[in-house]
Chains A and B, each alone.
Chain A
Amino acid sequence: MDVELSEILDTLCEYAPFSDLKDEPILQDMVKDIEIQYVRAGEWVIAPEARNDTLFFIRSGAIENKSKSDKLLRRMHEGDIFGSSSLLRGGRSSQTMRALEDSLLYRIPARWFIQFYSEFDAFSDFFELSREVRLKTAMDNQSSDLSLMTCPVHSLLRRPPITASHTVDIKTAANIMANERVSSLLITEDDALVGILTDRDLRNRVVAQGLPLDVRVDMIMTQNPITIDAGDFAAEAVLKMMATNIHHLPVIKNDRPVGVISTGDLVQRESHGSVYVISDIYKQEDVEGLVAISKKMSHIFTQLVNADANTQMIGNAMSHIGVAFVKRLIQLAERQLGPAPIPYCFLALGSQAREEQIISTDQDNALILHDRYDPALHGDYFRELSDFVCDNLDRCGYPLCTGDIMAKNPKWRLSLSDWKRTFGEWIEKPKAEALLHVSIFFDLRGIYGDKTLARQLNSHIRQLAKTHKGFLSALARNANQRTPPLGFFRQFVLDGEGKQSRTFNLKSRGIAPIADLVRVHALALGSNKLNTFERLEDIEEAGVMPDGRARDLILALEMIGMVRIKNQKTQVEAGEEPNNKVDPETLSEFEKRHLRDAFNIVSRQQEFLKYRYPGKG
């Protein structure tokens, strides 16, 4: 009876770890020892306190895995395996298994599990490798294709750099550029890069100024230009060009220039549009122009997604663009209202401050005013400025904040001292309820005006936060309020408290919980980073979390973020308003499996947060 049960063997071999063993003849012997069991929804498979002597393979249906304290750990379905951990502990099970749907189970006697575990590395690896590792491997495989976003900068270089010594005169430099047909020239001193000269510099700084052509080139070049490392991702070059609004980026390897990346090099690539949009924004002379550009945002967003940008890059790009809109609007406001009577700083809050903005985010902003602020004298000016900026941001596709956390709200236009006092109250007398509404203020970045005001406020917050345990534990408790949808499963999802819904919200149940819990660690550390990925790097370095866990969270955030972004891209392309809701039925098997792993990681880190920042519940 070797061929007769082949259908059962074939099914097992479709799934890991049996797929790695499918050529082993001994598997046919194992199949003969399988017992098949039908369980109805609601029945126990491994009841509390029960012993287990079987490895279970789910042939069909769904099984719910809970901890002793009845916390949902995992939902498993067709092809999943359970029972291994109790077998490894000699049959003692610390968790329960219950059928969530009518299920058909293949029961494999423990002795086969023990035998395979000791004989086949592929088999034992499967059970030892944590979910985290599986996730990482999957992410690595996913991004193996070469695209603009994943290829290194040096792969875009087409020729060695054209250079000239810093001692040559303008005429010689211009001749070299003409002969070599390049639009930029790298200026070196002892082979090291000291500057860059572009076509535009020759036009603006030489011809327009009527400068003689025998002036040395180092008098007119851009000194110590922004550069990029040859090993960096090409996408980072794009982001740098966007952030700084430059069109030529020298590439450096071992302290020597090896080439130049120009926007022209990226023209063939899809994402060039996003490089130009920022300079377009700064060229607009009125709000109408900005509104017109804002209509192109969805197109730029889809371009970035199509170019396989990762979530960090997209978040970064969308934030830079968002900031450009704010800055240009402030410039237009200042043009109307005249220069500000006292120094001030316009603040981005929340995702824009963390540089994790995506398409269609509400605006969250505030204003820090110099301590000379006198409402009677300066109040009108800043009210008008804020109204202009916020109302027009709304017109440019950044809707007004429903929680009224905007510079438009006089409550959030404070002098530096008042801000320090406000934060002092939040931190020194923490009330979890109140903190819930202001957590967004703890991600704060100065984007326009006197940025030293923002820096001073940030360092004040950092000093204060890390020494106040009560504040950290209140923040930790808040961070755990939104839980990942561990039960997300096939067509139904439990959204919120037991209510069934067809979709679930990737932002509120995945991305926001990660940002929240990472913020707690970052504040506890006194890290000056705002971006969640960068904060996680600080956290990893400081060793706050157990080894490797910060990395797991980075992967989880990337995975959840990617699904959200792809989902939004689909919505945009279908002409719908992009949102954060995902219908699990539209997800691929790959996405489902790894989203589940990602949510498990988030849930585990929420647990860790409770333990790390304990406080009265």
Chain B
Amino acid sequence: MTLDNLPENWQQAYQEMANNTQSDALKRFYQAGVKGLDCPLEEAPLVALDIETTGLDSDENEIVSIGLVSFSLQAIKLRSAQYWLAKPHSALTAESVTIHEITHSEIQDAPRLSSFLDEVLDAIAGKIVVVHCAAIERPFLYRAAMKHYGEPLLFPMIDTMALEANITYKPWWKRFGRQPSLRLDACRQRYHLPRYRAHQALMDAVSCAELFQAQVAHQHLNKQDLTKLYCY
């Protein structure tokens, strides 16, 4: 099971990984399973997650912050919000600083990612993770686990970006002009959600949760079988 080869059956894959792992944290995570994988969306426990990185390439760049918040289709509970800053091994590039506005001095005293990755896993264990752009979140978390535990970390994700691409999809003969933007802020505007300052991991996680609530409400997905929404 690798990034390029995601399992067909997550429940089974979780069981195998729980049996084979050497890490206590990963064992707890996989043993918690994917609750609600077989239930309708409205009953599933959800957690929105967002990371900020030093760049876009998961082979070269690192995570500098993680934000997450648990939610249901009815409420996003800020009480459950968590946020971590991580000190990367490599230096921040000027480019990334301008994006997430996290500066050298802020992360100077921050802990390494390895010191709190267990907490992150505990926070998302047993829940369906919702992200905007799984193509970033998944490989970065995968590499971080490889570095820290020496083992892969993979779990099913609902990707609001993929969902939006699906919602706004039109066959080529109906397309006019530019394709709709799938950036988080652009997606939110389609649902008349308020504009937030972008690129702060916790607010982006909250943003993503709100966007998902809106998508579900508009597309009447609340009774939907979860597996249909997974991004593999």
**Nearest neighbor of B195 in chain A, beta-carbon distance:** A60
Is the CB–CB distance between A35 and B77 below 8 Å?
Answer: yes
Chain B residues whose C-beta falls within 8 Å of the C-beta of A40 in the assembled complex:
217-218
CB distance from A179 to the nearest CB of B (A): 73
Is A47 an interface residue when CB atoms closer than 8 A count as contact? no
Question: Number of A interface residues, CB 8 Å?
Answer: 24
For B77, what are the chain A residues with a Cβ–Cβ distance below 8 Å? 35
Q: Say yes or no: B78 contacts A61, CB within 8 Å.
A: no
- Whole-angstrom CA separation of A327 from B82 in the bound complex: 79
A37 to B72, CA, bound (A): 9
Assess whether A36 is interfacial by the CB under 8 Å rule. yes
Distance A39 CA – B73 CA, assembled complex (angstroms): 10
Q: Could you jot down 22 A-B contacts, CB within 8 Å? A: A4-B67, A4-B200, A4-B203, A5-B81, A5-B202, A7-B196, A11-B194, A32-B78, A32-B79, A32-B81, A33-B79, A34-B78, A36-B209, A37-B74, A37-B75, A38-B193, A38-B213, A40-B218, A60-B194, A102-B217, A104-B194, A104-B210
- CB of B197 closer than 8 Å to a CB of A: yes
A35-65 interface (Cβ within 8 A of B):
35-40, 59-61
Within 8 A of B (CB), among A94-133: 101-102, 104, 107
Which residues, 186 to 232 on B, are CB-close (under 8 Å) to A? 191-194, 196-197, 200, 202-203, 206, 209-210, 213-214, 217-218
Check if B67 sits within 8 Å of A38, measured CB to CB: no
- Is A434 an interface residue when CB atoms closer than 8 A count as contact? no
**Shortest Cβ gap from B159 to chain A (Å):** 18
Q: Is B76 an interface residue (CB 8 A)?
A: yes
Bound CA–CA A505/B25 (angstroms): 67
Are A102 and B76 closer than 8 Å at their CB atoms?
Answer: no
Q: A36-B206, A60-B192, A60-B194 are in contact. Are A5 and B78 (CB under 8 A)?
A: yes
The reply on B83 being an interface residue by CB < 8 A is yes
Show the binding face of A for B, using Cβ within 8 Å.
Answer: 1, 4-5, 7-8, 11, 31-40, 59-61, 78, 101-102, 104, 107
CB distance from B206 to the nearest CB of A (A): 7
Besides A37-B213, A38-B193, A102-B192, 14 more A-B contacts (Cβ < 8 Å) are A4-B203, A5-B203, A32-B79, A32-B81, A33-B79, A35-B78, A36-B209, A37-B76, A38-B210, A38-B217, A101-B192, A102-B191, A102-B214, A104-B193
Minimum Cβ distance to chain B for residue A592 (Å): 19
Give the complex CA separation of A418 and B117 in angstroms: 96
For B75, list chain A residues within 8 Å (CB). Answer: 35-37, 107
Q: Which 7 residue pairs of A and B lie closest in terms of their CB atoms, listed nearest first?
A: A38-B213, A36-B76, A35-B75, A4-B202, A4-B83, A60-B194, A40-B217
A35 to B191, CA, bound (A): 19
Among candidates A5, A33, A38, residue contacting B214 with C-beta atoms closer than 8 Å: A38
B89-118 Cβ-contact flags toward A at 8 Å (1 or 0): 000000000000000000000000000000
Q: Mark B170-183, 1 if CB is under 8 A from A, else 0.
A: 00000000000000
Whole-angstrom distance between the alpha carbons of A8 and B209 in the complex?
A: 15
**A1 & B210 in contact (Cβ 8 Å cutoff):** no
- What are the residues of chain A within 8 A of B214 when measuring CB–CB? 38, 102
Taken together as a complex, chains A and B put the C-alpha atoms of A39 and B83 apart, in Å, by 27
Cβ–Cβ contact B78 & A33, under 8 A: yes
What residues on A are CB-neighbors of B191 within 8 Å? 38, 102
**What is the bound-complex CA distance between A54 and B77, given in angstroms?**
14
Contact A7 B193, beta carbon cutoff 8 Å: no
Shortest C-beta distance, A99 to chain B (Å), equals 10
Shortest beta-carbon distance from A34 to chain B in Å: 5
Give A40 to B203 CA distance when docked, in angstroms. Answer: 22
Contacts of B218 in A (CB 8 A): 40, 102
Q: Are B197 and A7 in contact (CB under 8 A)?
A: yes
B225 to chain A, nearest CB (A): 21
Chain B residues lying within 8 Å of A39, measured Cβ to Cβ, are 217
